[in-house]
Structure 1
Amino acid sequence: MESEIEPVMASITEGGELDEVNEEGAKGIAQAPPSQPTIRSLKREKAWALRSVLKVFVVRTEPNYAQPWQMRPQRSATGSAFVVDTEGRHIITNAHVVSNATSVHVRRPGNPKKWKATVLCEAKSSDLTLLTVEDPLFWEDDLRPLEFVDVPDLQHPIFVVGYPMGGDSLSITKGIVSRITMTRYAVASNKLLGIQIDAAINPGNSGGPAFADLEQGKVAGVAFSKITHADNVGYIIPWMIVAHFLSEYREHGTFRGSCSGGFRFQDMENTHLRAYLKVPENRSGCVVYKIDPLSEACQVLDVMDVVMEVDSVPIADDGTVQFRDDERVEFSHIVRCKHIGDTLHLTILRNGQEMEASYQLGQLRPLVPVLHGLDCTPSYFIVGGLVFVPLSIPFLEHAYGTRKWRQLSPIPLLGMITEYRSFADEQVVVLVQVLASELNFGYNFSTMHCHSFNGMKLHNLQHLAQLVDTCTDRYADILMFLAQVFHCLCRLGKPGCPFNLNFFDAGHRGCWSCTTV
């Protein structure tokens, strides 16, 4: 089972108590290595970097996808941020720190005043947000931008600075770079390059800098998550992902999204598979098994093509490319570093013949939307007390729990997560709840895929609403898929009219009904 990665969300301040230290303990402390540098212990000319690390105060109201007609209760939280551009007055933090915020304020270290901040640009797939403070007084003091450096080598020292739970003042923890790997920045999103560190990251550290050189103010990445039930396994966002986000904002004024190669692949380590695909001994790559019909890849790639090179970089049979000496990452990293509209060059093998293929990259179009505010917003349709919503990851999280939705969600719905859309506005319409009344007494269904209405296959939730609105019959048939066995046949009248619900199971060749007037 894959370890669960938990964003280090904003925290609520907690108090603590100090234990007594006896004489022997005091001697042990005296002999201990010196503590990590703080603003007071560093010389003033070297403490400027810490003064650019801010505490973020957020009040948020989140949507409720399980009951989309209402919002979740308002709550307050905190996180971290830091200055990256004083001329443009730009502050960077994590997207999950300020998502769904109704109020955002920032505070400088050692200064009690909280300044109103405004969101300039948000990239949920990269978990990054750009803030600004419009009040010029905020920028008058000695506030300098922090600079990023390229991905540090393994074992390189890292200082994580921010405002984690356990106190209100600035905190510094030290560790090293443990690993360079591809990781998910959000649930069910595409993997991006991440830096794993062993410095302590806790709730409230989100959005803070991880310094490769604290004295010079050189930042290796932005703290954003940790693995639950593991000791000191945290992740920071490297410079190349931040640079991609900032360049999108400078050129387009918004973040258009991460690129998708437009196809899914499997490894090619099996010798029999290599022989079947006629792959030469001196070549390697991965096998295309699904293609996005809305992408340009659909015009140049075929299922069972072997992708051997991406932008002239060889791909191994396990789907990885060389990153640095003795380090490898998934080849999708090369795709993610590109912008929408850039050209991807592939070397492929088709029926034993090597050829070149090129196409423009677009945004991922999953059949099941992944992130609130990125590719979905709450919507619903109610008729006869039956509640329909579009299937999305946020809905599954809210209905079955953020940590347990993969285990508890209906299997047929989970199988749709890896599918592509057939047309731009396609949605999976799901019956999620029956609001009890005499009109629908005896209906005990929930979370079922709604396939068609009166024989018309549903395109999306809007299509269902239009079909119901234009239906002139006393009854309507709503076809429901029930697992992978067959389906349910629902006959439903408009509000205020009697309706009849029939179940039909082809396996039993029988039906039974319940009528309410």
Structure 2
Amino acid sequence: MFQLSPINCPSTALSVPSSRPRRHSVWRATGRHSRLNTSLLKTRSYGNDYSELQQLELASAGDAGGELPLNGGSPLIGALGSDDDAPEARTSAGPAAAPPIIKVTGELRRKAWALSSVLKVFVSKVDPNYAQPWQMCPQRTSTGSAFVLDTKKRQILTNSHVVSNATAVYVRRPGAARKFKAEVVCDGKVCDLALLTVRDDAFWAAELRGLEFVDVPELQSPIAVAGYPVGGDNISVTKGIVSRIALVRYSATARLLSIQIDAAINPGNSGGPAFADLEGGKVAGVAFSKNVSSSTDNIGYIIPYRVVRHFLEDAESHGTYRGVPSPGFFTQDLENPAQRAYLKMPEGVSGVMVVKTDPLSAAHGAIQKNDVALEVDGVPIADDGTVEFREDERLEFSAIIRAKHVGEQAHIKLLRDGQELCVSYELRAKDHLVPVLDAVDAVPSYLIVGGLVFVPLSSPFLEMVFGGGGGRRSRRADIPVPVLAALNQNKTRKGQQVVLLVQVLAHEINHGYRYSVVPCESFNGTRLHSLRHLAHLVDNCEQPFLNFGLEGGRLITLATADVRAAGPQILSTNAIASDRSPDMALPKPEDEDWDAAAADTVDENPVGGPTGGDSDGDG
């Protein structure tokens, strides 16, 4: 297994002890920071896999010890930044082979003019706190790398996780002493890219040249990675080769094209260029992650030009990054002869079987269960769900969809009941039931009622509470089964959320209730659509009791009058300014149907949406 680091605030890391649950205070002070005592999580023996948090580690800029940034990068891969407060990076448990290093001499600088365009990035950032959403994490500082992309447009390219949640960004040219203030122009968290600019003319007065990209290099092509990893303040260059071309999960949202290299890349390299031709200034990709498993050495990943181009096109056309589209359907390989015969597949025809569609995608209705997807945009799909990429190289067919822009058309050839047909539909970004990226589809919302703290289930929350810090595995076994189940489900209505009771702020009116991290399904018999729906129901309740229906048929009952009388005292005792996040005061969105949710019976579908995980189609 690969190691996993949490996507969290390093200085306020939250962990789940492996000991049996004990009945103590939910919150405890550990060291100089407050931590969540998750021994109260009421977990049983949960062996389910948290599919969005697996395999690789992303060690972010600003996260020491190979930790992941809160809203950038992937749980699959390790980000490459450095933390000024903790410079040692724990990226492997075993000894690694000494990486080839290019000595940066004066002669090399004269030949490799491109090194002058590789910048060091200095960042101060404040991350949101999904475990205590009424406050922010402490400010921290970090460094990363970047490079000049276009001098006329004054564009600088780096990784999103380098500058995520930044309060101040500065860049410095190699060999210079002065730092220049930079601004984030466009942040593409899904593809882990960000555009910066510097307004100061003095920065651009130097001899800077924009670097040019080349397309995906062939296997065994030489690569030189430049940047500012931990261990020194000057520019570093390491060399290696292209090892593999594959789809890698950049974030919890999408698997995108990536280039695997064996050049040494380390915390601080994030956002730096990987040169296909150093002297010519030709860039093959942007360094952004590494595999930090103790059983592997020098496995790094760079973002290829095709992904960079997709990001830049969106930024140019819309002024923002809209993400990548989802196929909108999930598939199963068709390598079994009996199954092929059942689906009436002719000899010599290949494809994959559709097992379900995303209810909120445009594919829903156009594509049906048990259809066989034969081609995507005219490219044949093999029985294992792959398409030809280059000679002797194949990729999952979803790579073709992911290369398109949101709003473009997908053209799928299907086999339905033995007959071929073609369908076209508009591509959309996936609308996850469980939001996956801070500031993209997740926000730190909360509602406090009589000391009961409710939040919407999100990946940032789980990664903060259950993620293992410092290169340890996440404690997936501690995540409650109903919460795990929600990760593999789809929204059935716009705005739908899984509402969690995450802790109880002790007060005499809630005495005897010690639940935490458990889905709340209903309020006074009405099924919940979202956290905002719950706030609306509580605010307009005229009944003498507030009944919160939890997963498994459990019930919390509070007296309405007691809740309203004790509310200010509970907030004051816990130094909380408001009983809810600002977004709870917003009016109900017109496209959300709360009445339809309320009409559902309380006993069925506890967390909403169909069951089943992402398959080859990747949703």
What's the TM-score, normalizing by structure 2?
0.75
* C-alpha contact 1:151 1:220 (8 A) present in aligned 2: yes
Paired with 1:302 and 1:34, the residues of 2 have a C-alpha distance of 52
SS of the equivalent of 1:296 reads coil
Q: 1:435 to 1:9 in 2, by over 3 A?
A: farther
- Displacement of 1:314 in angstroms is 0.5
Q: 1:357 to 1:34 in 2, by over 3 A?
A: closer
2:118 maps to 1:118: no
- Displacement of 1:426 in angstroms is 0.8
Paired with 1:306 and 1:5, the residues of 2 have a C-alpha distance of 35
Instruction: Say which is worse superposed, 7-16 or 467-476, in terms of deviation.
Output: 7-16
Q: Which residue of 87, 104, 109 maps to 2:152?
A: 87
Name the residue aligned to 2:48: none
- Displacement of 1:270 in angstroms is 2.1
Paired with 1:123 and 1:238, the residues of 2 have a C-alpha distance of 15
Name the residue aligned to 1:204: 268
1:441-452 equivalent positions in 2, closer than 5 A: 441-452=511-522
Q: 1:34 to 1:444 in 2, by over 3 A?
A: closer
Q: Which amino acid aligns with 2:531?
A: L
- Displacement of 1:200 in angstroms is 0.5
Name the residue aligned to 1:490: 556
Q: Which residue of 364, 376, 396 maps to 1:310?
A: 376
What are the ranges of 5 or more consecutive residues in structure 1 without an aligned counterpart?
17-32, 500-505, 507-517
Deviations 1:174-229 (A, max 9, x none): 0000000000112x221001000000010000000000000000000000001112
Name the residue aligned to 1:437: 507
SS of the equivalent of 2:274 reads strand
2:142 maps to 1:77: yes
* C-alpha contact 2:219 2:242 (8 A) present in aligned 1: yes
Q: Which has the higher contact order (CA 8 A, sep 6+)?
A: 2
- Displacement of 1:39 in angstroms is 4.9
* C-alpha contact 1:453 1:478 (8 A) present in aligned 2: yes
Paired with 2:342 and 2:318, the residues of 1 have a C-alpha distance of 46
Paired with 2:320 and 2:100, the residues of 1 have a C-alpha distance of 45
2:529 maps to 1:464: no
Q: Which residue of 107, 112, 124 maps to 1:59?
A: 124
Q: Which residue of 362, 369, 373 maps to 1:296?
A: 362
SS of the equivalent of 1:273 reads helix
Paired with 2:327 and 2:162, the residues of 1 have a C-alpha distance of 29
What are the ranges of 5 or more consecutive residues in structure 2 without an aligned counterpart?
2-53, 59-77, 89-98, 566-602, 604-619
Deviations 1:387-431 (A, max 9, x none): 000000000011112541533211211111122211221111011
Q: 1:15 to 1:129 in 2, by over 3 A?
A: closer
Deviations 1:436-457 (A, max 9, x none): 1111111110111111111211
Q: 1:35 to 1:163 in 2, by over 3 A?
A: closer
Name the residue aligned to 2:298: 232
Name the residue aligned to 2:71: none
Larger radius of gyration: 1
1:344-493 equivalent positions in 2, closer than 5 A: 344-401=410-467, 403-482=473-552, 487-493=553-559
- Displacement of 1:476 in angstroms is 2.2
State the identity as a percent.
57
Q: Which residue of 115, 140, 144 maps to 1:50?
A: 115
SS of the equivalent of 1:260 reads coil
SS of the equivalent of 2:389 reads strand
* C-alpha contact 2:100 2:239 (8 A) present in aligned 1: no
SS of the equivalent of 1:274 reads helix
- Displacement of 1:78 in angstroms is 0.3
Paired with 1:329 and 1:105, the residues of 2 have a C-alpha distance of 38
Structure with the largest fraction of strand: 1
Name the residue aligned to 2:56: 4
1:132-171 equivalent positions in 2, closer than 5 A: 132-171=197-236
- Displacement of 1:9 in angstroms is 3.7
Q: Which residue of 385, 389, 393 maps to 1:323?
A: 389
Q: 1:458 to 1:15 in 2, by over 3 A?
A: closer
* C-alpha contact 2:57 2:79 (8 A) present in aligned 1: no
Paired with 2:489 and 2:87, the residues of 1 have a C-alpha distance of 47
SS of the equivalent of 1:415 reads helix
1:9-28 equivalent positions in 2, closer than 5 A: 9-12=80-83
SS of the equivalent of 2:190 reads coil
Paired with 1:228 and 1:240, the residues of 2 have a C-alpha distance of 25
Paired with 2:247 and 2:100, the residues of 1 have a C-alpha distance of 35
Deviations 1:277-311 (A, max 9, x none): 11122111111112111111012111111111000
Q: 1:213 to 1:443 in 2, by over 3 A?
A: same
Paired with 1:497 and 1:300, the residues of 2 have a C-alpha distance of 49
Paired with 2:101 and 2:439, the residues of 1 have a C-alpha distance of 42
Paired with 1:130 and 1:353, the residues of 2 have a C-alpha distance of 48
